[in-house]
């Protein structure tokens, strides 16, 4: 596996697009945290004739709430890293490197594992970055910090990592089927923001939440309602994690099936 990752690294290291997209993703996440900080210092709200509420007084960026809130916001920008995954897969077919790898002795399974390995590395990089930002925000906004609070709700950090890996595996599947970067990105966005919402609305209420994108989105539902008295889930259900992981495995298996029948 390490050999596969080293080969994948050599493929990516000289591509400026890889570094640009990775840097963009990390910078966007950093800017989010800075904007939240600025927003909270000035924002007050009046909801349903309740007394004026100063969000700066709410523990939005304090431990342990920061983990749920930050990972929820970060999840909206996973598409940036998905572009790296899609471009990596499609370039292999456009430039014939996938075929060359098989000539050099690698199996198609090895090739797929290298792409899934890339997806996991990108997910780990983003998760580590979010974790570091969360620590800085939590310590800078906490009055008295207890270790139990620091590491409370860390299940949301794990869920964020799972969300990224499953999403990137789905991106690999699309890229293998379409073999065109532009088409893969368009379908990725169209299904996520148009087709699946329509399906969710059309299908029975007890089925819609179990569609692929809904499955990973429900790892961390909208968390800010708890500050205005709305019922909010404060943990990640284990069955929801298992369901999301199941989709990741399914996308991986189907990707291998497609790859075995593809003309490299």
pLDDT at 44 (0 to 100)? 53
Kindly report, residue by residue over 194-232, the tens digit of the pLDDT.
999 999 999 888 888 899 999 999 999 988 878 777 888
Q: Is residue 183's pLDDT more than 80?
A: yes
Is pLDDT of 122 > 90? yes
Q: What's the pLDDT band for 34 if we cut at 50, 70, 90?
A: confident
- To the nearest whole percent, how much of the chain has pLDDT over 90? 64
pLDDT attached to residue 205:
82
Write down the mean pLDDT value for the chain.
89
Output the pLDDT for position 49: 53
Each residue of 232-262: pLDDT tens digit? 899 999 999 999 999 999 999 999 999 998 8
- Sign of torsion over alpha carbons 24, 26, 32, 34: negative
What's residue 148's pLDDT?
86
Average confidence (pLDDT) over 87-104: 88
Instruction: Give phi and psi for 142, each to the nearest 5.
Output: -80, 140
Q: Choose from 16-20, 142-146, 201-205 the range with maximum mean pLDDT.
A: 16-20
The pLDDT value recorded for residue 72 is 94
Placement of tokens 């890293």 in the chain: 81
Instruction: Inform me whether the pLDDT recorded for 108 exceeds 90.
Output: yes
Q: What pLDDT does residue 2 have?
A: 76
3-state helix/strand/coil string of the chain = CHHHHHHHHHHHHCCHHHHHHHHHHHHHHHHHHHHHHHHHHHCEECCCCCCCEEHHHCCCCCCCHHHHHHHHHHHHHHHHHHHHHHHHHHHHHHCCHHHHHHHCCCCHHHHHHHHHHHHHHHHHHHHHHHHHHHHHHHHHHCCCCCHHHHCCCCHHHHHHHHHHHHHHHHHHHHHHHHCCHHHHHHHHHHHHHHHHHHHHHHCCCCCHHHCHHHHHHCCCCCCHHHHHCCCCCCCCCHHHHHHHHHHHHHHHHHHHHHHHCCCC
Contact criterion met (CB below 8 Å) for 86 and 185: yes
pTM of the full structure = 0.93
Residue 245 exposed, middle or buried by CB count within 10 Å (0-12, 13-18, 19+): middle
Interval 159-181: pLDDT, tens: 999 999 999 999 999 999 999 99
- Give dist(CA 216, CA 114) in Å, integer: 23
Q: What's the rounded Cα separation, in Å, for the pair 105 and 84?
A: 25
pLDDT, residue 38, reads 66
CA distance 82 to 123: 10
Residue 88: both structure tokens together: 């990596």
């Amino acid at each position: 596996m390490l050999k596969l990752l080293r080969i994948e690294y050599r493929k990516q290291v000289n591509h400026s697009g890889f570094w640009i997209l990775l840097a963009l993703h990390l910078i966007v996440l950093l800017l989010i945290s800075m904007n939240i900080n600025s927003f909270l210092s000035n924002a007050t709200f009046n909801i349903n004739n309740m007394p004026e509420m100063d969000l700066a007084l709410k523990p939005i960026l304090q431990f342990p709430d920061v983990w749920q809130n930050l990972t929820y916001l970060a999840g909206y920008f996973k598409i940036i890293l998905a572009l790296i995954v899609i471009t990596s897969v499609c370039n292999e077919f456009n430039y014939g490197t996938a075929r060359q790898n098989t000539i050099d002795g690698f199996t198609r399974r090895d090739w797929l594992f290298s792409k899934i390995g890339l997806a996991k590395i990108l997910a780990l990089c983003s998760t580590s970055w979010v974790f570091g930002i969360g620590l800085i925000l939590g310590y800078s906004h906490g009055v008295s910090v207890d270790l139990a609070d620091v590491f409370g709700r860390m299940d949301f950090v794990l869920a964020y990592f799972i969300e990224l890996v499953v999403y990137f595996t789905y991106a690999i599947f699309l890229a293998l089927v379409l073999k065109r970067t532009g088409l893969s990105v368009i379908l990725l966005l169209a299904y996520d923001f148009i087709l699946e919402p329509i399906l969710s609305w059309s299908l029975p209420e007890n089925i819609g939440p179990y569609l692929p994108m809904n499955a990973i989105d429900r790892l961390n539902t909208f968390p800010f309602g708890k500050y205005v008295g709305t019922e909010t889930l404060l943990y990640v259900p284990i069955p929801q994690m298992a369901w999301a992981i199941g989709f990741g495995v399914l996308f991986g298996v189907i990707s291998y099936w497609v790859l075995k029948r593809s003309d490299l």
